[in-house]
Amino acid sequence: MQVLGGHPHVVEIRDYFEDAENVYVALELCSGGDMFNSLIKQGRYSEADAAKRCRVMLEAIKYFNENGVVHRDLKPENFLFDETGEVLKATDFGLATFYKQGNKLDLPCGTPLYIAPEVLRKFYDEKCDIWSTGVITYVMLSGRLPFHGKTLQKILDATLAGKYDMDHPAWEAISESAKDIVNKMLTYDPYFRPTAAELLEHPWLAPNGASTSPLVQSVFENLKTFTEMNKLKKRAIQMMATNLPVADIEKVKKAFERADEDNSGLLSLAEMRKVLDRLELDIDEEELQRIWSAYDVDENGEIDYEEFLAATTDLSRIRTLENIKMAFAKLDRNGDGKISVDEVMTALEDMNITEEAAKQMIAESDKNNDGEIDYAEFIAMMTEDFDLADGAKAGIGGIAAVIADSEA
């Protein structure tokens, strides 16, 4: 770290001390938290924010390379924010090493979710840091992991295969320029993978090169997912959406007010059709009815603001553990740690659902068949198509032992 001192995006060594047994290193204080917690809290970044973070990471890597250093464990947890929450700094050089241009390294190390395939093959160079940055950028833009699995070995197998996609709805509103730089960083053959210096010339990283919108470009990106939810899950999403940052809520509120032409506080089917037409979405009447039904959670024939907010919100931004816990607490009215049939009926009383319908909703998520939804089952229900947090848990720890076991 002493070699890398003096760079604005690398944590500084302030001092060091030693006694007969230990050396103590005092590092620069970065009290703004790490990028991982920022991602878990936000779900994903806007393109502009992601581009800003990506540029910082690549500038740090370029500096590493200029000093003959490869980090070998780049991941969101190893980038810290200063007290302002704006300046990002690389840290944790425990696996870093010096290298000579043209020579290959062979020690398998790093964190499974972000490790480059050539590291697993024990024949790699400094470009392994570029791959890790590509994975991080993929996560920043989509809120999802490109390589994942339910076990450590499956994660490693997925990484070795090197196959990922951008088919999830989260990518529909991402610019081609953003996709291009991610694809370049995740080039499988490191020989053809660009250097940090080359990537810093990419147009997406130029000033105003990325979208500044903190919300998804199309407010209807999540409709398919929202449509397929049962009423209990939609009500939970409504509760969670009210916990969005004020700036995001204001944007949705303005969109609702523009759509509500008669200022009734409710959207009619005709007003919804105009909204879709303005967005130049080619949707036939049958599809419009499906969309309408998805929005109209209480089935009163009109859409109120809370329904609009829930259905148009980027789900990855609100499905945080904090928000899920808040929604569960509201639904669990008696505080016994479970959501009962009666509590479902109370939460959905404006929809006049039957006891049988409430039982069916519970049955869909009641894994232990006790007739109620406990907190773990509720988390599973709310995150069944969102794998960032689960993947992160699976990816904690080193991989040398796993590789050793697989070769034994």
Looking at the annotation, which residues are catalytic? 73
Tokens coding 44: 């994903």
Q: In angstroms, rounded to a whole number, what is the distance separating the alpha carbons of residues 394 and 38? A: 19
Which of helix, strand or coil describes residue 266?
strand
Tokens coding 17: 């001390």
Nearest to 156, CA basis, from 204, 195, 203, 122: 122
Rounded to a whole number of angstroms, the distance between the first and last alpha carbons of the chain is 35
Tokens coding 374: 């406990």
Nearest to 179, CA basis, from 138, 148, 215, 211: 138
Cβ proximity of 334 and 393 under 8 Å: no
Read off φ and ψ for residue 339, nearest 5 degrees: -105, 120
Diameter over CA atoms, the chain: 79
Cβ proximity of 341 and 71 under 8 Å: no
Cβ proximity of 138 and 186 under 8 Å: yes
Q: In angstroms, rounded to a whole number, what is the distance separating the alpha carbons of residues 403 and 392? A: 20
Residue 156: burial class (beta carbons within 10 Å; 0-12, 13-18, 19+): buried
Q: In angstroms, rounded to a whole number, what is the distance separating the alpha carbons of residues 227 and 231? A: 10
Number of helical (H) and strand (E) elements in the chain, helices listed first: 20, 10
Q: Could you give the residue ranges of the DSSP H alpha helices within 87-151?
A: 117-120, 128-142
Strand partners, 124: 105
Tokens coding 143: 């809120």
